[in-house]
Amino acid sequence: MKIRNKMPVKQVGSVKSETKSEAVSPDVKKVGPKTQRVIFSVRAEVGSKVFLAGDFNKWDPTAKEMSDKKGEGVYTATLNLPVGDHPYKFVIDGTWCADPECVDWVQNDHGTLNSIKRVT
């Protein structure tokens, strides 16, 4: 097989190269702080309205509803939380309740106790 000579390309003008470094840097995505999946659980009367409130949702008493999937009065909610201590309470039928199973507590500005979830 014989290769033919290509015709020379006519140059129209010169191309300026940029003065910046021509190395290509990969796109870097900012990754948020590491989080850990945390399950909260509390027992309450079947049919109760149970919510989870804490520093992770600005203490909104209706932001995170907990569910009783088996209908046995065990309400659960799962959150992804960053490393640190997270004060929280359950709101059961409108009443704020500390977690009876939690061993870490701290007094709040209202003179009651908040439970603490430690994420490491």
Domain boundaries, the chain: 35-119
Residue 37 phi/psi, 5-degree rounding, is -75, 125
Which pLDDT tens digit goes with each residue over 91-107?
999 999 999 999 999 99
Whether residue 66 contacts residue 40, with contact meaning beta carbons closer than 8 Å, is answered with yes
Instruction: Read off the pTM.
Output: 0.71
Which CATH architecture group holds 35-119? Answer: Sandwich (2.60)
pLDDT of residue 22: 45
Q: What residue has token string 């995505």?
A: 29
Strands 105-107 and 64-65: unpaired
Whether residue 120 contacts residue 110, with contact meaning beta carbons closer than 8 Å, is answered with no
- CA dist., res. 39 & res. 26, Å (int): 37
% of the chain with per-residue pLDDT over 90: 71
- CA dist., res. 118 & res. 87, Å (int): 9
